Structure formats: structure tokens, C-alpha cells
Amino acid sequence: MSKKPIGPQVRVKVDLSGIEAVISAARQRGITLAGAKAAGKLLKNAARSAAPKRPGSGALKQAQGVRAAKGTKQGTTASFAVQGAKKKIDKMVVVRGRKKAQRVVPAFYDHLVQLGTRPHALGKGESLGRDATKRRKAIVRTGQTTGKHPGAKKNPYRKRAWETVKGPAGAAALKAMGTATQKEIDRQGAKIRSKLGGT
């Protein structure tokens, strides 16, 4: 299975050469992490607003999350944020053709919503999530046992969400990084004053 991220991929290059002399690489990753978190939060909120809602569910909206992390010491990426559906979020939903509630896991079908699906054959018991009783990986059960699924039109809601917030997200990232940079400069200044016996 491909591990390539689904949805928009955004790369931001930040020139930190001016502070390399006073701020270590590890501290620089911490500064850029603050920016990644700020930008990721805006995208998460926008994706939650843009995500489609199935009647009686809303699981896909609720599952929207973001994870920000520092890059590796050896890599060129200082920090990054990934926005998508959380794997640990699920919901009991009664779907069309079924009487009992089924356990829906949005992370299992988020990419199908984004990219759409082609018409395809349905096997017995095929589903879009996890069966509530058997607790096994599957897709939320439909009322059909055999036949053909007509396919689904793609709904790139995350891409639309990014288009609405990419300007504010960049500004939020720069602001957060500026605040983090100032804190680091203040910390370095206090450290130097302490060594010199100042206050």
C-alpha cells in the first residue's frame, strides 16, 4: 500500500541563516515546529468545516486532526505538519440498508472521499469501516450483498480548505516562529548575563 500522503502537500522554505550563530540546530527545529503547529491548526479547522457530512453521522468532520513534529537531525526538513483523519476516531452509525449501528472509522475511507471511486463490483459483506460485532477491518456495511457500486464523485475538500487558509496559515506560522525566536533570544541573553554575573 502506498504511503504517499493524500491531499495537498505544502512545502515552506524558511531562511534561518541569520540566527545560526546563536541558535543551535535543535533549537531551530523547535522554532519551526511552533510555526508548523500554528499553520496546521488553521488547516485542521478549515478541513473540519469543509468535510462532507453524511446524515446521522458527521464522523468525517469529527475525525479531522493534525500532527506536527520536528524533522530528523540528518534531514533538511526542520519541522512539518500532517493534516488528515485520525485513526483512533470512530462512531456508531446506522447506514442505509442496515438496522444495526455499524462502527465507522473515517481514516479508512477519507481518501475515497477525496479522490472518488470508480464503479466496482461488491462482494458479500463488503463495507467501509469496521464491523461493530466482529471488530475486523472492513468498509461500513451496505445493504447489498452482491452487485456493482456505481462509484463516487471525488470531493477534494482538504484541497479546498487549504486554498482558503494558505495565506493566513503562512502568516500564523511566521508569527508563531517570531514569538518562539524572541523567546530563544531572551533565553540566550539571560544565559549570557548569568555567566557575566549580571541580572
For residue 19, being part of any structural domain is answered with: no
For residue 62, being part of any structural domain is answered with: yes
For residue 13, being part of any structural domain is answered with: no
**Gyration radius of the chain's alpha carbons:** 22
Alpha carbon 181 to chain centroid, angstroms: 25
For residue 6, being part of any structural domain is answered with: no
Positive or negative torsion for Cα 178, 182, 184, 188 = positive
Q: What CA–CA distance (Å, rounded) separates 7 from 108? A: 15
Q: What's the predicted TM-score (pTM) here?
A: 0.70
For residue 1, being part of any structural domain is answered with: no
For residue 7, being part of any structural domain is answered with: no
pLDDT at position 120:
73
Split into its structural domains, the chain has a count of 1
Here the cell at position 124 is: 458479500
For residue 52, being part of any structural domain is answered with: yes
For residue 15, being part of any structural domain is answered with: no
Task: Write out the residue range of the structural domain in which residue 32 sits.
Answer: 24-196
pLDDT at position 8:
47
The values of phi and psi at residue 72, to 5°, are -80, 160
pLDDT in tens, the chain (199 residues): 444 444 444 444 555 555 555 567 777 888 889 999 999 999 999 999 999 988 778 889 999 999 998 887 776 678 889 999 998 888 787 777 677 877 888 888 898 888 888 887 766 555 544 444 444 444 444 444 456 777 788 999 999 999 999 999 999 999 999 999 898 888 888 888 888 876 5
